[in-house]
Amino acid sequence: MAQGFRVKVPASTSNLGSGFDTLGLALEMVNEVEIHVSGKSLSLNIEGEGAGELPENSKNLFIQAMNLVFREVGKSRPKGLQIRMINRIPLARGLGSSAATIISGVVVGKALCRKSLTDNDLLNLALKLEEHPDNLVPALIGGLCLSTLDEEKAVFLGLPLPMGMQVVMVIPDFKLSTKKARAILPKKVPFKDAVFNVGRSSFLTASLIAGRYDLLPLALQDRLHQPYRFEMAPKMKKIFEIASHLCGGRAAMSGAGPSILAFTNHHENPYDVIRALSENLSHHKIGAQVKLLNVSHQGAVVEEM
């Protein structure tokens, strides 16, 4: 009987304002990959986001990530693989599409190898394809995560979240290259800006854990990456200004942009927020999807088919 697996991996948002390169949050927008071991060659088909755009061969990040696992354990990858990717996470929007693909690959690689690899093992393999762990970690374990690098190895911690937290996400029609968004950042920043972000990021972590939504307008403030990246895309900056005004300052850039998120909770009607955002964006002739996304408490899931 042909061997098969299905893996589901959530989208993620990172940075969350002041938590640059350290904070990440998994969201209920899921990519799926179905893989069967059969035949004598590799076949890859992509549906949804990236169809006709992403490579359907060994250059695909999923294949690269899966191959890393086989090399790590010293086994040969099966030659006959039939792969179907069902992508729902938009590309180049700051929602962790690359991280989801990479995590899918290492998780499937582990399942096919049937080797005992830890989450740390998988993350450190994934870091060979994506330099920063802030999206990789929530994609793998779900929820709100704090991560950093220690001598190029990932160290991470899953954090508790208050019940009912939701995110309203504005996903613009235009894309923004993460590589370009990182390249625009300065090599040095003023000492006072570094101190500013240390304080704000500490408050951000504590506020999210405690459910202190009243502190988020302060805690989300950032001087390390958002001001520089807003200069790349004036429309992104305008979306942020609109979301921040309508949501009481609880807005931030999602990842490297261009998507903008706003935190809501059970005391608010998120659909009122969505309606107000949509009307304002339309008024300013900015094309975008506005979606309510729950936090995904579950990360990557693999099951046999």
Q: Residue 257 in contact with residue 233, Cβ under 8 Å?
A: yes
Q: Residue 25 in contact with residue 95, Cβ under 8 Å?
A: no
Task: For residue 175, give both structure tokens.
Answer: 């894309």
| Domain regions of the chain by residue span | 3-160+296-304, 166-294
Q: Name the band, by pLDDT with cuts 50, 70 and 90, for residue 1.
A: very low
- DSSP 8-state code for residue 40: S
Q: Given this structure, which CATH class describes domain 3-160+296-304?
A: alpha beta
Sheet (strand 260-264) strand order: 251-253, 260-264, 166-172, 288-294
Measured CA to CA, the distance from residue 179 to residue 286 in angstroms comes to: 24
Measured CA to CA, the distance from residue 82 to residue 305 in angstroms comes to: 13
Q: What is the pLDDT of residues 235-253, one digit of tens each?
A: 999 999 999 999 999 999 9
Measured CA to CA, the distance from residue 93 to residue 191 in angstroms comes to: 30
Predicted local confidence at residue 54, as pLDDT: 96
User: What architecture does CATH give domain 166-294?
Assistant: 2-Layer Sandwich (3.30)
Measured CA to CA, the distance from residue 221 to residue 202 in angstroms comes to: 11
What percentage of the chain reaches a pLDDT higher than 90? 89
Q: Tell me the H-state helices in 114-148.
A: 119-126, 136-141
Measured CA to CA, the distance from residue 96 to residue 243 in angstroms comes to: 21
Q: Name the band, by pLDDT with cuts 50, 70 and 90, for residue 103.
A: very high
Q: What is the pLDDT of residues 131-149, one digit of tens each?
A: 999 999 999 999 999 999 9
Question: How distant is the alpha carbon of residue 153 from its chain centre?
Answer: 19
